[in-house]
């Protein structure tokens, strides 16, 4: 397995954890972030912190993007036009949706990059632990060029087809995540409304076929009113909008997700912009 030189663009909650694991694997790494101060701590992990996108990607074999949306990815990549190594691989891990993946496929072609569309399942904790699940898609002949990177950032990589298939599967996965979060909040609120301790709902599921670590984590956060963002509400609404657009564009009525999205928006409008999607529970409790 050849060790690539990697440029990682975007060192927020997800990107920082990914960067540390890439550096820990002994892979040469440059990092860039729009706010350079957020990237500087990664120098302690062995990454070279760059002041410009062009500096970061110059000579890099693999360019990873972990940003906000398709437009921010496109803008960032275009800032480095002319600085990419010939035939460098774009490992695009941002959640961008169906149209966004197609948009970035065109941008990659214009810039001479090989596009691997590879959004990830997992939040800040799994990113820090190297336990992301990568939903990878793209040309088969480019896959071995990113093996070392994928091993560093994830516990498992699922190759799902041509570029864009990963983003489509990510929408289905996030529809489940958001809907499940909303369902847990609803059941806890209903338990309380019926005059019972809502913890009893989680206790009833414990150890049975309906139990899941995610249910316990989000449910516990709701009951403790601890909403430090692992998957922030603004990101949840952004992803919900991508899912709704894709579903309706394929003649599917995503009624459950629409309801959860509306709840998240109400919580956002109440001022809880820096909280986790688990704060959807506030829609019941105030």
Per-residue pLDDT of 24-68, as tens digits, reads 999 999 999 999 999 999 999 999 999 999 999 999 999 999 999
Q: Same structural domain for residues 245 and 133?
A: no
**pTM assigned to the model:** 0.96
pLDDT band (50, 70, 90) for residue 178: very high
Q: Same structural domain for residues 28 and 126?
A: yes
Contact 9, 67 (CB under 8 A): yes
Q: Same structural domain for residues 131 and 176?
A: no
Q: Same structural domain for residues 154 and 29?
A: yes
Q: Same structural domain for residues 59 and 147?
A: yes
Average pLDDT over the chain, rounded to an integer: 97
Q: Same structural domain for residues 236 and 134?
A: no
How many domains is the chain built from? 2
The tens digit of pLDDT for each residue in 238-247 reads: 999 999 999 9
Range of the domain at 124: 6-162
Q: Does the pLDDT value for residue 120 go beyond 80? A: yes
Q: Does the pLDDT value for residue 21 go beyond 90? A: yes
Q: Which of 106, 124, 170, 218 is catalytic?
A: 170
Domain boundary among 129, 162, 195: 162
Q: How many CB atoms lie within 10 A of CB 8?
A: 31
Contact 185, 281 (CB under 8 A): yes
Whether residue 100 lies inside any domain: the answer is yes
pLDDT over 70 for what percent of the chain?
A: 100
Domain boundary among 117, 141, 162: 162
Contact 154, 132 (CB under 8 A): yes
Q: How many CB atoms lie within 10 A of CB 172?
A: 12
Q: Same structural domain for residues 152 and 182?
A: no
Q: Same structural domain for residues 172 and 158?
A: no
Q: Same structural domain for residues 206 and 107?
A: no
DSSP track, 104-172: HHHHHHHHTPEEEE--EE--HHHHHHT-EEEEEBS-GGGGGGSHHHHHHHEEEEEE-SSTTHHHHHHHH
Domain boundary among 162, 195, 226: 162
Active site residue 48: no
Q: Same structural domain for residues 217 and 245?
A: yes
What pLDDT, on a 0 to 100 scale, did the predictor assign at position 97? 98
Q: Does the pLDDT value for residue 2 go beyond 90? A: no
End-to-end CA distance of the chain: give it in Å, rounded: 53
Whether residue 237 lies inside any domain: the answer is yes
Whether residue 1 lies inside any domain: the answer is no
Q: Same structural domain for residues 146 and 194?
A: no
pLDDT band (50, 70, 90) for residue 286: confident
Of 34, 47, 29, 109, nearest in space to 79 by CA = 34
List the CATH number of the domain containing 240: 1.10.1040.10
List the CATH number of the domain containing 95: 3.40.50.720
The tens digit of pLDDT for each residue in 245-285 reads: 999 999 999 999 999 999 999 999 999 999 999 999 999 99
Q: Same structural domain for residues 252 and 158?
A: no
In angstroms, rounded to a whole number, what is the distance separating the alpha carbons of residues 69 and 95?
Answer: 6
């Amino acid at each position: 397995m050849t060790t690539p030189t990697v440029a990682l663009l975007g060192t927020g909650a997800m990107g920082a954890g990914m960067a540390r694991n890439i550096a820990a694997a002994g892979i040469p790494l440059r990092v860039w972030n729009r706010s350079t101060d957020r990237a500087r701590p990664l120098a302690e992990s062995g990454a070279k912190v760059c002041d410009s996108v062009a500096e970061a990607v110059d000579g890099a074999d693999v360019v990873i993007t972990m940003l906000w949306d398709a437009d921010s990815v496109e803008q960032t990549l275009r800032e480095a036009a002319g600085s990419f190594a010939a035939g460098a691989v774009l490992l695009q891990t941002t959640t961008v949706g169906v149209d966004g993946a197609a948009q970035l496929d065109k941008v990659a072609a214009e810039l001479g990059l090989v596009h691997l569309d590879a959004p990830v399942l997992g939040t800040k904790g799994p990113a820090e632990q190297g336990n992301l699940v990568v939903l990878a898609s793209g040309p088969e002949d480019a896959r071995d060029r990113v093996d070392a990177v994928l091993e560093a950032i994830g516990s498992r990589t699922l190759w799902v087809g041509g570029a864009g298939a990963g983003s489509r599967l990510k929408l289905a996965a996030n529809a489940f995540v958001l809907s499940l979060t909303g369902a847990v909040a609803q059941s806890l609120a209903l338990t309380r409304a019926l005059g019972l301790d809502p913890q009893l709902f989680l206790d009833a599921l414990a150890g049975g076929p309906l139990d899941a670590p995610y249910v316990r984590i989000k449910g516990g956060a709701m009951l403790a009113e601890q909403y430090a963002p692992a998957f922030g509400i603004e990101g949840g609404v952004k992803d919900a909008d991508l899912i709704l657009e894709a579903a309706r564009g394929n003649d599917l009525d995503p009624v459950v997700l629409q309801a959860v999205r509306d709840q998240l928006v109400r919580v956002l409008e109440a001022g809880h912009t820096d909280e986790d999607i688990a704060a959807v529970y506030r829609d019941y409790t105030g």
